[in-house]
Amino acid sequence: MASETTKTYQKRKRKKQSSEGQWFWKLLSFCLFLLIVGIFFRQTLMQLYRIHPIEGTSMEPALNSGEIVLVSKQTVPQRYSLISFSLEKEQFVKRVIGVPGDAFFIQGTRMVFDLDGTGKFLTTYSLDIAERQANEWKNLSAIPEDCYFVLGDHLEVSKDSRVFGWVTSSDIEGTVLLKN
């Protein structure tokens, strides 16, 4: 009888150890599943969006230094949208003023854009640009394909297309969706 009680006890003990082992493996499997889903989710988000910190005052009052913006990598820039881009290892957030195909002319260092798209210059935007850019663009009559003209909202301090020229589609990281 004692032998049967011992056998029953040992069976129960093995069954308990077995269920504890199964519980451990189920928990480990679940944690690995969550880790894989988390990595996949993070990678997917990183392909679609980017977080960009704002430094400087060139976009005031729309964006202030120290703010953070969420940038969509899937959105095509439109006139007046804010875009994030990189040029020569510098990061920028600026406003799109001129889009591919927009007509313009240059007189001296003054650039005049046709904003209504008719080529009649009924709605225009004009500004002074750097002499180097004026000389480079004086023989053009429209913004080239895949190029954008961008400005900072705070023109007095902004380093933008007036100085560094066109921003190409390949330089653009995305369009600003949200700010904090």
pLDDT bin (cut points 50, 70, 90) of residue 85 is: very high
Average pLDDT over residues 111-136: 90
* pTM for this prediction: 0.77
Q: What DSSP character marks residue 81?
A: -
Are 180 and 171 within 8 A, CB to CB? no
| pLDDT tens string 11-65 | 666 666 566 668 888 888 899 999 988 888 888 777 888 888 999 999 999 999 9
Task: Decide: helix, strand or coil at residue 82.
Answer: strand
Which residues in 123-149 are b (16+ Cβ under 10 Å) and which e? eeeebebeeebbeebeeeeebeeebbb
Residue 58 annotated in active site: yes
Catalytic residue among 16, 18, 58, 126: 58
SS3 of residue 102 by DSSP: coil
Residue 26 has a pLDDT of 86
The 3-state DSSP composition of the chain as helix, strand, coil percent (nearest 5) reads: 35, 30, 35
**What is the structure's pLDDT at 101?**
93
- For the chain, which residues make up each domain, given as ranges? 1-48, 72-175
Kindly provide the residue ranges of all beta strands, DSSP E only, lying in the chain, ordered along the sequence.
Answer: 49-53, 68-72, 82-87, 90-98, 104-107, 110-114, 124-128, 147-151, 167-168, 172-179
Structure tokens given for 130: 């750097």
pLDDT tens readout for residues 140-161: 999 999 999 999 999 999 999 9
As a CATH number, domain 72-175 is: 2.10.109.10
- Indicate the pLDDT class of residue 3, thresholds 50, 70 and 90: low
Residue 18 is a catalytic residue: no
Question: What does the pLDDT read at residue 17?
Answer: 58
pLDDT of 120 higher than 90: no
- Single-letter amino acid code for the residue at 86: S
